[in-house]
Amino acid sequence: MTCDYVAGWLATCGVLAALVRRAKEGGSYRVVVSLSRTALWLPDLGVFDRDYATKTAGSSDEHLYPDPDGFVVDTPMGRYTGVKEMIEMSKTPGEYKYPLTPLGSAQPSWL
């Protein structure tokens, strides 16, 4: 499950609702979202049919899963193979400058 995405969407909706309520009524509000509660809540919705999803996945060009873009990088901990972000932002880079680099592992050099 992609609970992190759903929890992010729920948090966004909660923040927007709190801002609207603050604009109308005043006051301050706290939004709390939990990954574990989201994971428990999603199956209870009853809208996901596993048999249909299994039968439909890959059945036509419309329902193909695209292969993810991967990357390989050498790190102080060895060679790492990972998957790039699936979303590209217009202004924010979608990758880490130094993936998997533990603190203190860089070679000493003069600035």
What confidence tens digit (pLDDT) does each residue in 22-38 have? 999 999 999 999 999 99
pLDDT digits (tens, 9 = 90+) for 58-70: 788 888 777 888 8
User: Which is nearest to 82 in space by CA: 92, 95, 66?
Assistant: 95
Q: Reply yes or no on whether the pLDDT at 102 is more than 60.
A: yes
Position 87 in a domain: no
**What range does the domain containing 36 cover?**
3-61
Position 92 in a domain: no
Looking at residue 15, its pLDDT comes to 96
Position 23 in a domain: yes
Q: How many domains does the chain have?
A: 1
Position 45 in a domain: yes
Angle at 21 between CA 16 and CA 24, to 5 degrees: 130
pLDDT digits (tens, 9 = 90+) for 83-99: 877 777 777 766 666 67
Looking at residue 94, its pLDDT comes to 64
Position 83 in a domain: no
Position 79 in a domain: no
The kind and range of the H/E element at 111 are none
**Hey, what amino acid is at 67?**
D
Position 39 in a domain: yes
